[in-house]
Amino acid sequence: MGKLFVISGSSGVGKGTVIKEFLQRHPEFKLSVSCTTRSPREGEIDGVNYFFLLKDEFKKRIENGDFLEWAEFSGNMYGTGKDYVKETLNSGHNLILEIDTKGALNVKKIMPEAKLIFILPPSMEELEARLRGRNTESEEAIQKRLNSTKLEIENSKKFDYKIVNNTIEQALSDLEKILLE
């Protein structure tokens, strides 16, 4: 039976980069592919980064009880497939869910053995600079993300571990200590 880890942190904090680096070094870990109703960003591939679904299809899956957890976030819906998680853990793989803090706390309720890890930005100023530097979103979308970050940090008080992402190398080494323990 594989182990389940949930990693949260507001977008722009660099968690995607840290997780990608970790997965390259440790191929025995898998990253869960979530479903979402948001549009793909440039370079994102259906079935790799997300399963991109229309809202109607997403709602149908909620009604069917297909999701372990799901959340609406910045006007878009995101969800983790129940069967996908079950099958991956049963096949002996360790699985990482990269989801928001609300979703993480819901997973913990259903699967208390899951370890929750929160990745913090060095500061709010740094996070804002990173979000703007990415240049993929409108001012309104950036403000929405910054506001939700405050809620995320509040929720993260119930997490098992916290990592501050000062540099990729240091964050990666902290993550290895937790996941390989």
Residues in the site for ligand 5GP, rule: CB under 6 A?
11, 34, 38, 69, 71, 73, 78-80, 98-100, 103
Q: How far is the CB of 141 from ligand 5GP (least distance, A)?
A: 10
Residue nearest to ligand 5GP (CB): 103
Pick between residue 79 and residue 121 the one whose CB is nearest to ligand 5GP.
79
CA distances to 30, 40, 76, 122 from 35, rounded to whole Å, are: 16, 11, 11, 29
Give the whole-angstrom CA distance, residue 174 versus residue 46: 30
Q: How far is the CB of 169 from ligand 5GP (least distance, A)?
A: 22
Determine contact, residues 6/97, Cβ cutoff 8 Å.
yes
Pick between residue 14 and residue 103 the one whose CB is nearest to ligand 5GP.
103
Closest-CA residue to 99 (of 77, 124, 82, 78): 78
Residue 149, SS3 per DSSP: helix
DSSP alpha helix (H) spans, the chain: 15-25, 55-64, 82-90, 101-110, 124-134, 139-155, 168-179
Q: How far is the CB of 28 from ligand 5GP (least distance, A)?
A: 22
Pick between residue 26 and residue 144 the one whose CB is nearest to ligand 5GP.
144
Q: How far is the CB of 11 from ligand 5GP (least distance, A)?
A: 4
Q: How far is the CB of 60 from ligand 5GP (least distance, A)?
A: 16
Pick between residue 78 and residue 161 the one whose CB is nearest to ligand 5GP.
78
Report how far Cα 1 is from the mean position of its chain's Cα atoms: 22
Pick between residue 44 and residue 169 the one whose CB is nearest to ligand 5GP.
44
